[in-house]
């Protein structure tokens, strides 16, 4: 892997964090409030404020300026466009509510956090419960609100900018522990570059959040995106590719199942891994990492047990069909991944253990996925420690790799209250 971060040389102190391990969550989530865009969206776009449907949400928003609770929302309307495509599918709605009911019953903190709008204080308490020292904060609605091909480019960019202003303020409540990842809109690449520069240079963002899906038919390895990759190299921040289940993008692996029985488990099982597979293919086999050797990439919340096979498959297909392609590579696709990429495994992903052993531990990070209902809070780290991994492998996955990815230095002394 390129570069060495101060975080990868942290002292091994027995009084640090959970079980003597420093823990850096690669992808912990904020739950954005109803009125975020009403408060932060600027200029002429205010006439097109997003609308969220769900009666409970309207009541909460009327009673408080900043009640998040976005987990109760079944959908949104953005400039007259509905997100997600399955918003009114009864089966998907029922299965989501049942999952939330079961997840909320696992620990009383869910109700406390929900009552406070999933504010920074409640997030820090959840991190203490899990033993997480530092977290890189990704949005929920901040990603979902951009998941429609037909959003105008300037409007999509304004939505992202408003989210970033709010997210920065959220993380400023405890900047040593809450690190800000900035959202960009792939609908407008020049505006995405400007926003990435603003967020890194002015707001202290440690990463940029990218959509793995094609947007308006634009793939990640299309040459129109090249200026973005150059800008991220210049800024020395990674791009974290994070799929979302709440999407209306036309090119989405789960969308073909909308309207069919058992849509939700089938689409959810397929979407995230497949979209990340496509993103890895674009970045490696599409020639991006050949042309941008200092660009760092993370592939998040799509499991990792398939990675070894997928890299083998890309190498195999490049060997057979690569000669004569428009953009030539100087090494097999898998070598670009090993040089520049990271992937998140799930906390209970036993099949990924063999992949870690085969590839080596240097490419893997982990997340609790708090407070999403399909996460394992408050037992995420407990489940991770049950995986049969060697001590040095755990340390790499829990801190060293993620610190190198995001260029985050180790905190001084004990951080969590566990």
Is CATH 3.40.50.620 the classification given to domain 6-406?
A: no
Model pLDDT, residue 183: 98
Question: Which neighbouring-strand residues pair with 297?
Answer: 239, 341
pLDDT per position as a tens digit, 53-110: 754 344 334 443 434 444 444 688 898 888 887 665 555 566 667 666 676 667 779 8
Mean pLDDT, range 357-378, rounded to an integer: 94
Contacts 24+ apart (CB under 8 A), 254-260: 255/85, 258/85, 258/86, 258/89, 258/92, 259/86, 259/89
Q: Where are the domains of the chain?
A: 6-406
Would you tell me the crossing angle of helices 351-359 and 307-321 to the nearest 10 degrees?
Answer: 50
Max CA separation in the chain (angstroms)? 62
Number of alpha helices (DSSP H) and beta strands (DSSP E) in the chain: 17, 11
Helix axes 90-104, 263-284, angle to 10 degrees: 90
What is the chain's mean pLDDT, rounded? 88
**What was the pLDDT predicted at 152?**
96
- Do residues 311 and 334 make contact, with C-beta atoms less than 8 angstroms apart? yes
Is the pLDDT score of 168 beyond 80?
A: yes
Its pTM stands at 0.90
Where residue 12 falls among pLDDT bands split at 50, 70, 90? very low
Q: What is the pLDDT of residue 74?
A: 62
Q: Out of 128-137, 286-295, 408-417, which region has the weakest mean confidence (pLDDT)? A: 408-417
**264 pLDDT tier (thresholds 50, 70, 90):** confident
Torsion angles phi and psi, residue 297, rounded to 5: -130, 145
CB-count exposure of residue 410 (10 Å: 0-12, 13-18, 19+): buried
Looking at residues 250-279, what average pLDDT do you find?
92
Top pLDDT among 28 and 65 is at 28
**pLDDT tens digits along 96-134:** 676 666 766 677 798 899 899 999 999 999 999 999 999
Instruction: Please choose, from the candidates 288, 285, 304, the residue with its C-alpha nearest in 3D space to the C-alpha of residue 296.
Output: 288
What is the pLDDT, as a whole number, of residue 55? 42
pLDDT for 165 equals: 99
Instruction: Answer with the residue of higher pLDDT: 417 or 159.
Output: 159
Which pLDDT does position 46 carry in this prediction?
93
Dist CA 227 CA 124 (whole Å):
36
Tell me what pLDDT residue 91 has.
57
Look at residue 37 and tell me whether its pLDDT is greater than 50.
Answer: yes
pLDDT at 196: 99
Give residues with Cβ within 8 angstroms of 121, minimum separation 6.
173
Q: What is the DSSP letter of 397?
A: I
Per-residue model confidence (pLDDT) at position 177: 98
Q: What are phi and psi of 213, to 5 degrees?
A: -70, 155
CA distances from 153 to 4, 61, 223 (A): 37, 28, 18
DSSP assignment of 235-271 = HT--EEE---SS---SS-TTGGGTTSTTHHHHHHHHH
Q: What per-residue confidence (pLDDT) applies to 411?
A: 83
**What's the CA gap between 103 and 126, in Å, rounded?**
14
Question: What contacts 38, CB < 8 A, 6 or more positions away?
Answer: 46, 49
Which range has the worst mean pLDDT, 141-150, 222-231, 269-278, 310-319? Answer: 141-150
pLDDT given at position 17? 59
Give the span between the Cα atoms of 202 and 95, in whole angstroms.
Answer: 41
Name the band, by pLDDT with cuts 50, 70 and 90, for residue 416: low
| pLDDT tens readout for residues 369-395 | 999 878 889 999 999 999 999 999 999
Q: Are 134 and 415 in contact (CB under 8 A)?
A: yes
Taking 80 as the threshold, does the pLDDT of residue 275 lie above it?
yes
């Amino acid at each position: 892997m390129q570069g060495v971060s101060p975080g990868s040389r942290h002292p091994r102190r027995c009084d640090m964090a959970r079980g003597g391990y420093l823990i850096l969550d690669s992808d912990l989530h904020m739950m954005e409030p109803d009125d975020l865009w009403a408060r932060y969206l600027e200029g002429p776009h205010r006439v097109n404020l997003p609308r969220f449907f769900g009666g409970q949400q309207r009541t909460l928003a009327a009673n408080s300026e900043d009640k998040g609770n976005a987990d109760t929302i079944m959908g949104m309307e953005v400039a007259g466009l509905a997100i997600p495509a399955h918003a009114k599918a009864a089966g998907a709605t029922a299965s989501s509510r049942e999952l939330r009911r079961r997840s909320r019953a696992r620990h009383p903190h869910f109700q406390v956090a929900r009552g406070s709008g999933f504010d920074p204080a409640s997030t820090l308490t959840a991190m203490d419960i899990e033993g997480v020292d530092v977290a890189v904060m990704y949005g929920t609605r901040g990603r979902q609100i951009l998941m429609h091909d037909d959003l105008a480019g300037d409007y999509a960019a304004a939505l992202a900018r408003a989210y970033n202003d709010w997210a920065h303020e959220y993380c400023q409540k405890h900047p040593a522990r809450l690190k800000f990842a900035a959202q960009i809109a792939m609908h407008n690449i020049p505006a995405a570059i400007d926003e990435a520069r603003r967020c890194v240079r002015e707001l202290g963002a440690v990463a940029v959040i990218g959509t793995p899906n094609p947007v308006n038919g634009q793939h990640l390895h299309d040459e129109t995106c090249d200026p973005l990759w150059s800008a991220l190299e210049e800024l020395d921040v990674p791009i974290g590719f994070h799929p979302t289940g709440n999407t209306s993008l036309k090119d989405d692996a789960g969308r073909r199942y909308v309207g069919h029985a058992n849509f939700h488990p089938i689409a959810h099982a397929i979407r995230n891994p497949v979209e990340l597979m496509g993103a890895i293919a674009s970045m490696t086999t599409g020639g991006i990492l050949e042309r941008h050797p200092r660009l760092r990439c993370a592939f998040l919340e799509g499991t990792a047990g398939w990675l070894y096979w997928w890299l083998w498959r890309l190498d195999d297909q490049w060997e057979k069909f690569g000669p004569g392609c428009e953009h030539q590579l100087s090494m097999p696709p898998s070598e670009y991944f090993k040089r520049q990429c990271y992937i998140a495994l799930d906390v209970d992903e036993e099949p990924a253990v063999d992949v870690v052993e085969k590839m080596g531990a240097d490419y893997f990070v982990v997340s609790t996925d708090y407070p999403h209902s399909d996460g394992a809070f408050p037992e995420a780290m407990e489940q991770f420690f049950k995986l049969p991994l060697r001590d040095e492998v755990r340390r790499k996955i829990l801190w060293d790799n993620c610190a190198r990815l995001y260029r985050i230095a180790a905190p001084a002394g004990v951080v969590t209250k566990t």
